[in-house]
Amino acid sequence: MGGGHLVATPPSTAIAAAALRPEIELLLACARTRMDAATAGRLPALLDRELDWEYLLRAARWHGLQPLVHWHLRDVEPARVPPGVRERLRESFDLTQRRNLFLTLQLSAILKRFASDGVPAIPYKGPTLAVAAYGRVGLREFSDLDILVKKADVLRAKELLVADGFTAGPPLTKAQERALIESQHAYCLTRPDRSVLVELHWEVSPRHVSLPFQPERLWQRLEPVMLAGRPVMTLAPEVLLPTLCEHGAKHLWERLAWICDIAELVQAVPELDWARIVAEARRGGYERMLALGLRLATDLLGAPMPEPIRQRAERDAGVRRLAARVRAHLFADPGHRIGLLEQARFQLGVRECWQHRLRYCWLATTTLTVADWEQRRLPWGLSFLYYPIRLLRLAGGAYEHHRH
């Protein structure tokens, strides 16, 4: 593979010069599996500063980085980290290990169940991303299991999960279920005790934010990863990388863990076929979305970037504005919410042409969701009323921002 010269880039001087809280500087230093010599050399000086440890723990929890913070602070001199903080990080790390192992075993059992009933299924993100990009399942937090199935198999896969004790979200009529499969991208099911959430995907993202990936093409580009002691097929890195950039953009890159995913994947798979990635991004009209994700990973975490993407990120004023906007809210108080208008502005900005922006506006306002059906139970003959109700919900600032 290959097809593009990777440029190893230190974190942006603009970021380095910014007046970041010392806790955020420490979080950025720990947001990686492999700490280079320069970052490791800065760690003692960062730890010697007057730190608000409660803020650091809260920020690490919000950004999904508690395992990595523990990973890098576990062996530093005891005097540099308060004993209570060290213990809380260790407890959180142990909990993540147990939780991730439990979910990995659940995923393995679900895949075996699907295979025995002839339902092809491809897991992605979650445990497979943790292994492929981070090298071990316990260093990346995840809370649900994303499984790609073919559209024709969605209801069969759902029935198999229900037979194994899962429950679907709010009850839907058969007509609503068919409409969900035609208009949405995933069907959510949970264990009754909510210990496991499964998202059955037939597309990787909602239609109004999705990349122009034909679902059948996803199935043609798979690679194995070892999971629970056996090889499991998942999305090839050249497909996974754009989907991670899309996922981050969909959620306005609110969590540093999503940027860490990009940096870790790029470094874990140095033989990425960059020529193909860039050519498909240009052909599909999502080069800006890709450039934004890689620029954030480079600016904040020093990830290498291929020369064609670096040039695009530097010359595209839209990428620069979007990256500055991400940094502004990324380092705001953990847990803050971004308003609906700001979400819309960002989604329009990350798209490269007016046709894609019009498509986003149209689908975002007219595609019904489970939340629309759940809020108002209407007879099927009055189902046309769901559309004006949805517009009223959006106008009222309904927050449909799901993070995982």
d(CA 231, CA 12): 38
CATH at 292:
3.30.460.40
The Cα angle at residue 259 between residues 289 and 363, in degrees rounded to 5: 40
Please list, residue by residue across 129-149, b when 16 or more beta carbons sit within 10 angstroms of its beta carbon and e when fewer do: bbbbbbeebbbbbbebbbbbb
The pLDDT, as a whole number, for residue 373 is 56
- What's the domain count of the chain? 1
- Of the two residues 386 and 245, the one the predictor is more confident about is 245
Average pLDDT in the 123-147 region?
A: 96
Residue 268 covered by a domain: yes
Domain that holds residue 244: 6-395
The pLDDT, as a whole number, for residue 295 is 97
Residue 402 covered by a domain: no
Residue 404 covered by a domain: no
Q: What is the mean pLDDT of the chain?
A: 86
Average pLDDT in the 10-19 region?
A: 48
Residue 95 covered by a domain: yes
Each residue's pLDDT tens digit, 155-166 = 999 999 999 999
Place of tokens 């004790």: 165
The pLDDT, as a whole number, for residue 361 is 77
The pLDDT, as a whole number, for residue 403 is 47
Average pLDDT in the 140-150 region?
A: 96
Residue 351 covered by a domain: yes
Residue 403 covered by a domain: no
146: closest CA among 234, 212, 219, 245? 234
Each residue's pLDDT tens digit, 314-367 = 999 999 999 999 999 998 877 677 777 788 889 899 988 888 888 887 777 776
Residue 401 covered by a domain: no
The pLDDT, as a whole number, for residue 399 is 44
Residue 298 covered by a domain: yes
Q: Give every CB contact of residue 116 below 8 A, 6+ residues apart in sequence.
A: none
Query: Does residue 11 carry a pLDDT above 70?
Result: no
Pairing of strands 121-124, 186-190: unpaired
Average pLDDT in the 6-30 region?
A: 70
